[in-house]
Structure 1
């Protein structure tokens, strides 16, 4: 028992120091191990004779989508003081309640067969199972679950010399994943991630770096408003003097955090260089989230992230009188929040550029 507790604490400590990301398990297979402590409950002849003891299982999963998976578990509950043993074969349907979060509650229900040993005649029983718990995705390929299974063993099959068995098993589940629609990790929870605006591609045959398709005096690679009407007075980035352009910023954040990881320094250097090159423009850093969680919390988080990006640019030499920051939370979604892809697109930071 002490070894089990120490192992559980070590695993929990490992989990809590990891970055919190959300991973898409759609179409993935899982294989894992479960260990726990089986406790007979609701007194009857079986429960009064079988003392609490360890239980364990191996399980395989298939995730139909982000929220639902089917699990086949083969395990054993041993009650060593009485030598009673239950061999379990269970099929469980599982619902991940918050499919967009890396910490997610788990609800499940299933049926199975239980082979009873060393308690009267050897027999096979029909059993039902209910599950509650929480699961944490450490990586796209590994998760840790803290679960509680309630097992009801009936007397519908065989000749068990008692009424029924009720067993509660708190347990730790370790699961490894493989397969899936792609090998890419899904977007971090509440992260801000949008690819930087696509630049004009240079052809291997024709050098188009000097082209000015809309004839506004700004070359195409530097033109943020490439469809300006002929004759329109534009600023240095090719936009009408009273028009604003949007530059998407590719920065990712840990869930619930606003600190910027150093791995994004090179991208922020590029944004800073752009603003230094066009010193006559002003910029507002705008932060957005998806619609998961409370509006007030999302607005505060998006504001903190926008200000974090602003501070990073100021530290790189952009004058504070040229730059501002504001968080808008879930406002103005650019995609459907009803899908994972849509929520990912809505978690973004943009730089809105305008003339002074």
Structure 2
């Protein structure tokens, strides 16, 4: 059974070769040693027990052992595994398994090959190891085989040499060999050079540096919404600058930019955005585009408006919008875009505003908007629609939002918002004259309605004159109930017939 176990142990240790990673190995080494064969102790253990031998101090003394000399050849096959070939010779009175011996010393020749499995590499001063192998002996013309299994220590106390000691138990595989202990101590000297596996040469990756697009996205810091018309500047290390404006998605793209270091900044409403730096190394990626984000912190609200041609119900281009801050009594102007009639401006917080459009031969609605009570952290955009209506010579326009006291010609100016847009139209179009026409429904007498319509038209003329309009540019005419535009038999029809119309004159 011991023989089978020894063979299995040797096989397992040998298989560990596959798990080792080649690194620094022991060079070719030649060793000289003295050894002692102890047959008696092994025989005592076999006939009794190891415990009995230890308890009764039956372990052989050095003087009772057979002494010999030998040489070793060692060669590292892995950083922690050495191959060892040993040749021993001694004059021995061989003790056989049955306890008999020759009675005289005869020459014993041993040769074995083994592997030392080291716990540490040879870089350490003290290196423990275990060993296993296979051996052959020749004694009195008889050949025998055995398995040496043991452990040892290697003392690396010299640069090119080391001292070693080893203890083995040699299991007999044939009847011509007997089990015995084997003790040795020796010195080994390097006779070859360290064999170090050359480091694997890794070719450095070739960095591809090429022109790339740079996409800059700008967002409102408070709400995270993308910002339109931000002026984005791309500044190179050579102080050259490129500029672009963000689109409706808040993005500006610079195409085919040469690899270098760049700075990125933004400007909107005279307020600078955050800045970012782009290093040249950013161009070393495989991506075709470098994406950068900026934030913009503006405490004001953004008014997004559109001017609509009320006559044709389409966006109207090139309209100048006057925006008055009624709270702070300040004024700014914007112009609607030629493509879509849109306009955009900034509104201060906690303020009321009045907006009116200006374009030759057009009359504009007047719109009120307020930022009072709005939370800037939740709201960025204030949206509105501004209506304008074409006012060509000979064209008549109904003013719906002019109110009079019942049966009187007194204007209720608090609700008559169309009066102010009429004033603005006349101021913006100095060459235009108007005829103010008054109309009533059929309630009451014809004479009374004629007089009432004329009086109301006169009241409007008087109001316009008080607002600075030259009286010679405006005239008044009352038509009473003579020109209805709806059925006077219904409430809705009579309401439509009670109206003020302006007619554009040469």
**TM value normalised by structure 2:** 0.25
Task: Choose between structure 1 and 2 for higher RCO, CA contacts under 8 A separated by at least 6 residues.
Answer: 1
Larger radius of gyration: 2
